[in-house]
Each structure stands twice: as C-alpha cells, then as structure tokens.
Amino acid sequence: MKTYIAVVHKDADSAWGVSFPDLPGCFSAADTLDEVLPTACEALSLWFEDQPVVPPRDLDSIRVAAATDLAEGAFLMAVPHVTSAGRSVRVNISLDRGIVDAIDTAAAGRNLTRSAFIAEAARNEIQGTHG
C-alpha cells in the first residue's frame, strides 16, 4: 500500500475538493468532511486504472508544492492507495468465537464468504468507508 498526500480545499459555497500534487488530473469532491477520505481513495483507484504507478513524494515536498493552498486555508491529508495483487494469500488469524459468528452471519447476509467479508471490511476500514 502506498500513501499519497492530498490537498483538501473548501470554499464557503462549495463541496470539499481534493487534489493530488503527485497525480495531475486526479481529484475528487465530497459534500461532507466524513466523505473526503472515501472519495479521495476512489479517485486514486480510478486514476491508477489508466496511469502508471507514480511514487509518492514525501510530506515536506508536498507541503512546499502546496504552500499557496495551505496559506489560503487548505490542509493536507494522507490517502491510502490499496492495490489488488490479483491473487489470494492464505493467512492464519485468531478471533473471538463471537466475532467469528457475527462475521459469518453478516457475510451470509451479503452472499460473501468469510474471507471476502473480512477483506472488504479491512479495505473499508483502511479507506475510511465505514458505511
């Protein structure tokens, strides 16, 4: 997983805007602050569908590049980019029996396997999509 630094803007009469100094043309918007991270993660995923992997710059470099925006009230946010390796890996984890039962019930209700449910829950937690 790579983490990219985003610049988050908010004008009085607009949605929250997110741009990525490392990724020209990659941007998103959200109506609420809680939606900023999930929409930014989605923008990263969509951007990388058509673009080669770009290594993220360090925080200090981004801070310098975004100095004008920051002076105008923007702020920086770390956005994880979770890629799919296209292959499954077997892991051994230990969980409380009650949690396993709850996972199995929730997974069955969504027509998912236990593994698929746990993977989706982990991705949602990492990307801030707790809905």
Q: Do both 67 and 96 map to the same domain? A: no
**Is the per-residue pLDDT at 18 higher than 90?**
yes
CA gap 98, 39 in Å, rounded: 32
pLDDT of residue 119: 82
Which residue in 33, 72, 26 sits closest to 52, CA to CA? Answer: 26
Domain count, the chain: 2
Q: Do both 40 and 98 map to the same domain? A: no
Of 46, 63, 81, the position where a domain reaches its end is 81
Q: What is the pTM of this model?
A: 0.70
Q: Quickly state the pLDDT bin for 116 (edges 50, 70, 90).
A: confident
Domain hosting residue 116, numbered range: 87-131
Q: Do both 66 and 36 map to the same domain? A: yes
Q: Do both 6 and 21 map to the same domain? A: yes
Residue 3 phi, psi dihedral angles, 5° rounding = -120, 125
